[in-house]
Amino acid sequence: MSDHSSSYVPSNGFTRWLDERLPIIRLMYDSFIVFPTPRNLNYLWTFGGILTFCLVAQIITGIVIAMHFVPHGDHAFASVEHLMRDVNWGDLIRYTHAVGASMFFAAAYIHLFRGLYYGSYKSPREIIWIFGVVILLLMIITAFMGYSLVWGQMSFWAVTVITNLFTAIPIVGEGITQWIWGGYSVGDPTLNRLFSLHYLFPFIIAALVGLHIWALHVVGSNNPTGVEVKSKTDTIPFFPFYVIKDGFMVVVFMLLFSWFVFYAPNYLGHSDNFIEANPLQTPPHIVPEWYFLPFYAILRAIPDKLFGVIAMVAAIVVLFVIPWLDTSKIKSVSKRPLFMPFFWLFVITCFALGYLGAKAPEGYFLIASQLFTAYYFIFFIIIMPVIGLIETPKELPDSITEAVEGQSGKEGASS
């Protein structure tokens, strides 16, 4: 809960002096040391910290790579190879950045699904959710631009396909697409501006993360019961409890991250991107990186070009309005037995669409894509509003303290 009294006391002359002029230490103290956090958060709540780690890692490795990368069609591919071969530690820095993008999305999707399952998007947390969706959208654009910089076959043709989608816009589509390209097709001007914007966007994301956390701190974290904080016994200070828990999970995350970086760095990528871009030869199967596959499946499920684009965009736009689509006052899906199967079917749908995004859109694969795309939208537009109005939820605990300690007052520290 937003409590405007701060308990920070500067410990020495310098910190007192600073506090009177720019209370930044006070801000850090209030936000990340004593901040009252529900005591029953589970490990799914550690992904915010993991995502912050990912963003910092991507920015640092990205800035370093930018010291060696040449954003011109004649040199881009070779400059990446120069980084891999000649620059000290260049191979590891490049692989960390490439694998890091995948890790970033994996963590983001888990973080998002946590929000969906526990109703973290519901009042009073709508703004946090909306900022989150904006961050996801910017991540998608940033990752897309970054992948294109390698200027391999997949880079070049992915940019060609996706920028060509803008021609679907009636009347102004062609003009917009040429404006994006800086020419009559994807070429050097395109590459150069993709580099400039790819460098810029992560800092916009960082600013939005700041706003995301600010909005969170105004209302306080959600928790697995969905029952809001009612008293001091419901919460514990963020430090040391959640700092150490987040720290632990960041290191566990690094174990998975480093497995890929050191042993299978190209596993999540596509071999075609090691072929230099050739504007005169299209690869047989243009496939985006795995984290875009669900959206790609939705795009290709609709045979019409314009409606395919609209469906793909709608798949993200619909996320913005979830706080108003879901009519249930109960936050956690664990307390909503009627809704639960539909939620898990939605999770299956997302995985299925991801799988189908890598398949050619024909035969049974196309039919399956269409069915799952239909369910994707039905889940948000029909099921979310309707179920909330007709369901009988399970009984909620009176408070977080009661949920943790049990009604008989039995001891049970949560972890």
Partner 1 sequence: MNSILKTITKLTALFSAAVVSGIIFTSSALAAGGTGPEIKRQEWSFGGFNGQYDKAQLQRGFGVYKEVCASCHGMKLLSYRNLIQKGGPEFSKEQALAIAKEATVIDGVDADGEPKERPGKLSDRFQGPFKNENEARSANNGAYPPDFSVLAKARTIHRHVPWYTEPYYWGYDMVTAYEEKGSDYIYALLTGYGTAPKGVVMGDGMNYNKYFPGHQIAMAAPLSEDAVEYADGTPTTMEQHAKDVTAFMAWASEPHLNARKNLGKRVQIYLLIFAFLLFLAKKSVWARLKH
Partner 2 sequence: MSSDHNDEGRRDFLMVAAGSFAAVGAAGALWPLVDQMNPDASAKALASIEVDLSPIKEGQAVTVMWRGKPVFIRKRTAEEIKQAVSADTTDMRDPQVDGDRAKKPEWLVLIGICTHLGCIPRGQSTGDVHGDFGGWFCPCHGSHYDTSGRIRKGPAPTNLEVPPYAFISDTKIKIG
Active site (annotated) includes residue 245: yes
Alpha-carbon distance 225 to 88, whole Å? 50
Q: Does 280 engage in binding with partner 2 (CB under 8 A)?
A: no
Considering only residues 29 to 48 of the shown chain, the ones binding partner 2 according to CB under 8 A are none
Closest CA to 375 of 310, 307, 287, 294: 294
Which of helix, strand or coil describes residue 413?
A: coil
Q: Is residue 385 a contact residue for partner 1 (CB under 8 A)? A: no
Q: With contacts defined by CB under 8 A, how many residues of the chain interact with partner 1?
A: 52
Is the Cβ of residue 84 or residue 211 nearer to partner 2 in the bound state? 84
Q: Which is nearer to partner 1, 36 or 265 (CB)?
A: 265
Of the listed 289, 326, 332, 359, which one is catalytic? 289
- Interface pattern 54-83 for partner 2 (x via CB under 8 A): ------xx--x--xx-------------x-
Of 247, 242, 364, 244, the residue nearest 301 (C-alpha) = 364
Does the footprint of partner 2 cover residue 304 (CB under 8 A)? no
Contact 368, 312 (CB under 8 A): no
Closest to 116 (Cα-Cα) out of 390, 304, 332, 404: 332
CB of 387 to partner 1, least distance (A): 8
Establish whether 258 is a catalytic residue.
Answer: no
Contacting partner 1 (CB under 8 A), which of 36, 247, 385, 397? Answer: 247
Alpha carbon of residue 21 to chain centroid: 36
- Of 92, 168, 169, 219, the residue at the interface with partner 2 (CB under 8 A) is 92
The answer to whether residue 328 is catalytic is: no
Q: Binding partner of residue 136 among partner 2, partner 1, none, CB under 5 to 8 Å per kind?
A: none
Using the rule CB under 8 A, give the single segment among 67-75, 135-143, 209-217, 269-277 that binds partner 1: 269-277
Tell me how far, at minimum, the Cβ of 89 lies from partner 2, in Å.
Answer: 4
271 binds, among partner 2, partner 1, none (CB under 5 to 8 A by kind): partner 1
How many other CB atoms sit within 10 Å of the CB of residue 404?
Answer: 19
Question: For residues 266 and 54, what is the distance between their CA atoms, to the nearest angstrom?
Answer: 19
Cβ contact 329:188 at 8 Å: no
- For residues 197 and 303, what is the distance between their CA atoms, to the nearest angstrom? 32
The DSSP secondary structure of 328-364, one letter per residue, reads: -S---GGG-TTTHHHHHHHHHHHHHHHHHHTS-SSHH
Which residues does 189 contact at the CB level (< 8 Å), separation at least 6? Answer: 181, 182, 183
- Give the integer Cα–Cα distance in Å for 261 and 102: 11
Among 341, 395, 407, 410, binds partner 1 (CB under 8 A): 341
Binding-site ranges for partner 1 (CB under 8 A): 39, 78, 81-82, 84-85, 91-92, 236, 240-241, 244-245, 247-248, 251-252, 254-255, 258-267, 271-272, 274-275, 284, 338, 341-342, 355, 363-365, 367-368, 371, 386-387, 390, 392, 411, 413-415
User: Mind telling me the catalytic residues?
Assistant: 217, 221, 245-246, 289
